[in-house]
Amino acid sequence: MTRVRIAPSPTGIPHIGNTRTALFNYLFAKRTKGKFIVRIEDTDQARIFPGAKETIFEILNWLGILWDEEYIQSERKNIYKEYVKGLLKKGLAYEEERAVRFKVPADQEVSWIDIVGNKKISFKTNVIEDFVIFKSDGFPTYHLANVVDDYLMNISHVIRGDEWISSTPKHILLYQAFGWKPARFAHLPNILGPDKTKLSKRHGAKSILDYRKKGYLKEALINFMALLGWNPGGEKEIMDLAEMIKLFDLKDINTASPIFDLKKLDWMNGEYIRKSQISNLRSQIYEFFDKKYPIAMVEKTVPLIQDRVKKLSEYKDLCEFFFKDPEKYEIDLSGKKEMLIKVLKSLKDVKDWDAVNIGENMQKTASNLGIKNSDFFMALRVVVTGKKISPPLNESLEILGKEKTLKRIKKAF
């Protein structure tokens, strides 16, 4: 049976690259009807970041990348101690200043066929120094705990970032020292920024929770991450999780480093917003703004902006005028008093307050005043919303209501 794992260290908050690795492991497990395991590698106790472990699980839970088994390495340190004793007894490790080192054999070649690119990778042991496997604080190092756990947990495939390639020969040597068959390795090319340098915070190497705070949907983030290095063939780019599971294959992972493109993420998120049912989008916006806006009004206004926004956060800029009077105007309204008095009088006469009647009334008023439609409706838009860009004006006035509309027009002169 396929058994894969992610092994995050709680020494910091996982960024989008770490989460992509988790997603690929999850997709492979589900595609092969295997198991997906989360193992918190917290043996470096001095560098543990408060709240990091909880954040790792929060990210996975929110995205729906659900795990089958969970382990914490610090709870297993007595297990590692026994395996270190075995290596010391065989003369394959030695103690040095209360830390135990693995004795690297000389003049050997360590190699494996990496699944990504189906390529052979080789290292000479002469370039690998004896490395620490057990520390004086009673905890194993990453190398030992990683190999022992992968063996004991029957991990069949180790899918991780290619920054771990240089560690892999050490792991294979440990497998050999214990007399175990190594897992198969698949090293994912690292994600690069638009300038083709290592992805950093200035490019977008943030936590998934940072993207959630900015108004990105989890479905769009999963879709976007999946295509950072994986291509199932064809032109289709919008896929749900079930479709990704059906198509996912490690052989389709590119050997070239993918480029993180924030514009593509924005586009993709916008596509998911446009595909959303109104009821879902209403709930997502309502929750995103911590239930600040009345849900009934959110539901009325969502259809006006669904085709215009790329992130949930953009709802506020477009729709806040529905909930509070504008505090300033984006164009100078001085000299518009006469026009606004006529508009106020004309709108007072509208009996059936709906978008069609409002629009016809305003067209007639603009014509009577001899004002170009573009100038007339821009001024009216700014009077009511405060902004030059807003949802469709007539529909907005219908939702805002007659009383509030007239009050705002009066306030502007």
The residue annotated as part of the active site, out of 201, 246, 364, 372, is 201
Query: Has residue 262 got a pLDDT over 80?
Result: yes
Tokens of 89: 């007894």
Query: Has residue 183 got a pLDDT over 80?
Result: yes
Identify the residue with better confidence: 200 or 177.
177
pLDDT band at residue 223 under the 50/70/90 scheme:
very high
Query: Has residue 271 got a pLDDT over 80?
Result: yes
What does the alpha-carbon distance between residue 212 and residue 210 come to, in Å, rounded to a whole number? 5
Query: Has residue 118 got a pLDDT over 90?
Result: yes
Domain boundaries, the chain: 3-70+191-267, 278-322, 337-411
Burial of 235 (0-12, 13-18, 19+ CB in 10 A): exposed
Query: Phi/psi of residue 293, each to 5°?
Result: -100, 140
CATH class label, 3-70+191-267: alpha beta
What does the alpha-carbon distance between residue 5 and residue 398 come to, in Å, rounded to a whole number? 54
Length of the chain: 413
- Residue 402: Cβ within 10 Å count: 15
> What is the model's pLDDT at position 233?
87
> If you average pLDDT over every residue of the chain, what do you get?
95
Query: Phi/psi of residue 311, each to 5°?
Result: -140, 150
Query: Phi/psi of residue 375, each to 5°?
Result: -70, -40
> Same CATH fold, 337-411 and 3-70+191-267?
no
Instruction: CATH number for 337-411: choose from 1.10.10.350, 3.20.20.70, 1.10.260.40, 1.20.1050.10.
Output: 1.10.10.350
Residue 336, C-beta contacts closer than 8 angstroms, at least 6 positions apart? 379, 383, 412, 413
Query: Has residue 124 got a pLDDT over 80?
Result: yes
Buried b (16+ CB within 10 A) or exposed e, 11-49: eebbbbbbbbbbbbbbbbbbbbebbbbbbbbbbbeeebe
pLDDT single digits (tens) 316-358:
999 999 999 999 999 999 889 999 999 999 999 999 999 999 9
- Is 251 an active-site residue? no
pLDDT single digits (tens) 89-103:
999 999 988 899 999
Distances from the Cα of 234 to the Cα of 30, 372, 393, angstroms: 22, 49, 41
pLDDT band at residue 9 under the 50/70/90 scheme:
very high
> What is the model's pLDDT at position 12?
87
pLDDT band at residue 197 under the 50/70/90 scheme:
confident
